[in-house]
Structure 1
Amino acid sequence: MSKPRLQLILSPAKTMCFDPCAVADKAGTSEAVGLQRVDELASVMAKQSKAQLKDCLGVSDAIASENYDRFQGWASAEPRQAVVAYSGFAYAKLDARTLTEDQLRVGQKRLLILSGMWGPVRPLDQIKPYRLEMACKKLAPPYNKLALYWRDLSTETLLEGYGSGDRVLVNVASDEYASAIDFAAVKKAGVRVVKVDFWQGGKKAPTVHLKHGRGLVARYVFTHDCDSLDALKGFDLEGYEYDGEHSSDDVMVFARESAPPKKKARTK
């Protein structure tokens, strides 16, 4: 499979699901490029008490206890492909479990997920359950600046993923996670960087719909194998359309009047 001209970066999700996925298993598995650093970081996390994890992660007692158990049992934890393991708002709309094997393989070359725990992750890279946000600053150096800890490897992995031609990076990650990319180095390498924004009813979309939009764009790229910004301008899921009036050289805006109605729950 040839290397792409267009790639995306996307944030991970706090919520995770490790149920089996037959389609993802058929599409294959891969190994995260930063496993040595992951293991070092997991060792640091395993030394944290439940109270320290609660403070470090900013979570409840129950979530701190869950993640204490995760890090204590890290070596024996069963992994799952990242694109089906994450299950937050963006990933609900990416909905990888409904994609085909070929579409997942398209995503494998086009999407880079930026994780605080796993660093740069491709969709079929196997990851283990964890909770660790990129913005966590309460670990000892160098782990108190996770974006910097991962920046060199994330940027290198991204750039190595490109083919030749007019290359573009589509940023659908949050600022917190996008900070793991050295954008100056990316631009110096001749890659155009474009951030995606979502508007709804004439103003920026609410946070939940923003996250939904990011996942929808990723799904569109997976299903249409978009290799240029012109191809991405065709994005039309859930009422969105390209808004040329509000877009610029470095910002691509997709707009809609309102969110689609919520699906009614099935009644027996």
Structure 2
Amino acid sequence: MIIILSPSKTLQRIDIDFNSNPTQPTFINQSEAIVERIRSLSVNDLKELMGISQSLATLNYERFIKWQVPFNQTNSHPSLFTFKGDVYEGLSAKDFSAKDAEFAQDHLRILSGLYGVLRPMDLMQPYRLEMGTKIDIGDRENLYQLWQEKLTDYFNNEFMGKRGKVLINLASNEYSKAINLKNIDAKVIIPVFKEQKGNEYKTIAIYAKRARGLMARFAIKNRITNADDL
């Protein structure tokens, strides 16, 4: 069983209370090409492209300028302990043990506009690049065209030869569209979280996001590997 999450726009750096064994992102070479493309833009270009304020555009312009390989524990940090936001408040990785992180490394994946996909202990450097950003990379018109085949193949390789082929899609539609879910060799389950309002059930965005993180946390803390137990 693999759980997928969206990344977050806001970032932090949670100190890790155990000796970690960080890993490298799978598609780091592709990330380099994306960074080079973005470096060709100005601060004002980024502001318009991402629909963000001048200060945020400046911050992210500087992030892309500083971005460098190789990743190490000085210039980078594991993704599980870097993303912030409502989903990651629910996930609450700050109290994860080494065993929790080890289980998450096998069963949790974070989709990313820049990195494609990140394992929890994959090192990352700060960035902002939503999957829906309309930017061409080489001969690809947008990030969906860039990532979809790569990510679909990636997850099929992850499931190859394994029992319990289930993909729990806790990512937003914006990010899960970066995978061709119809071509995934696994059962795809998309949990839906709603609040009862009178006689109706409605999706309340902030609660749904936290619930996604809470479900991922529950699976990790309880070492759940099949949909029935989840």
Q: Deviations for 1:182-239, whole angstroms, at most 9, x for unmatched residues? A: 11210xx2x111101012225133000010011001101111111111110xxxxxxx
Q: What's the counterpart of residue 147 of structure 2?
A: 150
Distance 1:19 1:167, change over 3 A: closer
Deviation at 1:98, TM superposition (A): 0.8
TM-score, normalised to structure 2, is: 0.91
Q: Distance in 1 between matches of 2:122 and 2:93?
A: 14
Q: What's the counterpart of residue 87 of structure 2?
A: 90
CA contact (8 A) 1:27 1:105 kept: no
- Higher Rg: 1
Q: Distance in 1 between matches of 2:208 and 2:89?
A: 13
Please list every run of 5 or more consecutive structure 2 residues that lacks an aligned counterpart in the other structure: none
Distance 1:140 1:75, change over 3 A: closer
CA contact (8 A) 2:135 2:143 kept: no
Aligned to 1:229, the other structure's residue is in SS state coil
CA contact (8 A) 2:34 2:137 kept: no
Aligned to 2:111, the other structure's residue is in SS state strand
Aligned to 1:120, the other structure's residue is in SS state strand
Aligned residues: 222
Q: What's the counterpart of residue 20 of structure 1?
A: 15
Distance 1:175 1:48, change over 3 A: same
Deviation at 1:172, TM superposition (A): 0.4
Q: Distance in 2 between matches of 1:27 and 1:205?
A: 37
Decide which of 203, 206, 212 is 1:205's aligned counterpart.
203
Percent identity over paired residues:
28
Aligned to 2:228, the other structure's residue is in SS state helix
CA RMSD of aligned residues (A): 1.6
Q: What's the counterpart of residue 255 of structure 1?
A: none
Tell whether 2:96 aligns with 1:99. yes
CA contact (8 A) 2:14 2:94 kept: no
Aligned to 1:8, the other structure's residue is in SS state strand
Tell whether 2:7 aligns with 1:9. no
Higher deviation after alignment, 75-84 or 35-44: 75-84
Q: Deviations for 1:19-70, whole angstroms, at most 9, x for unmatched residues? A: 53233xx232111110110001011111110000001111000000001111
Deviation at 1:140, TM superposition (A): 5.3
CA contact (8 A) 1:112 1:158 kept: no
Distance 1:101 1:140, change over 3 A: closer
Q: What's the counterpart of residue 181 of structure 1?
A: 179
Deviation at 1:141, TM superposition (A): 5.1
Q: Distance in 1 between matches of 2:223 and 2:4?
A: 15
Q: Distance in 2 between matches of 1:147 and 1:140?
A: 10
Q: What's the counterpart of residue 59 of structure 2?
A: 66
CA contact (8 A) 1:115 1:177 kept: yes
Partner AA of 1:116 in structure 2 = G
Q: What's the counterpart of residue 134 of structure 1?
A: 131
Aligned to 1:112, the other structure's residue is in SS state strand
Please list every run of 5 or more consecutive structure 1 residues that lacks an aligned counterpart in the other structure: 1-5, 233-268
Deviation at 1:143, TM superposition (A): 5.4
Q: What's the counterpart of residue 266 of structure 1?
A: none
Decide which of 193, 215, 229 is 1:217's aligned counterpart.
215
CA contact (8 A) 1:56 1:139 kept: no
Distance 1:149 1:140, change over 3 A: closer
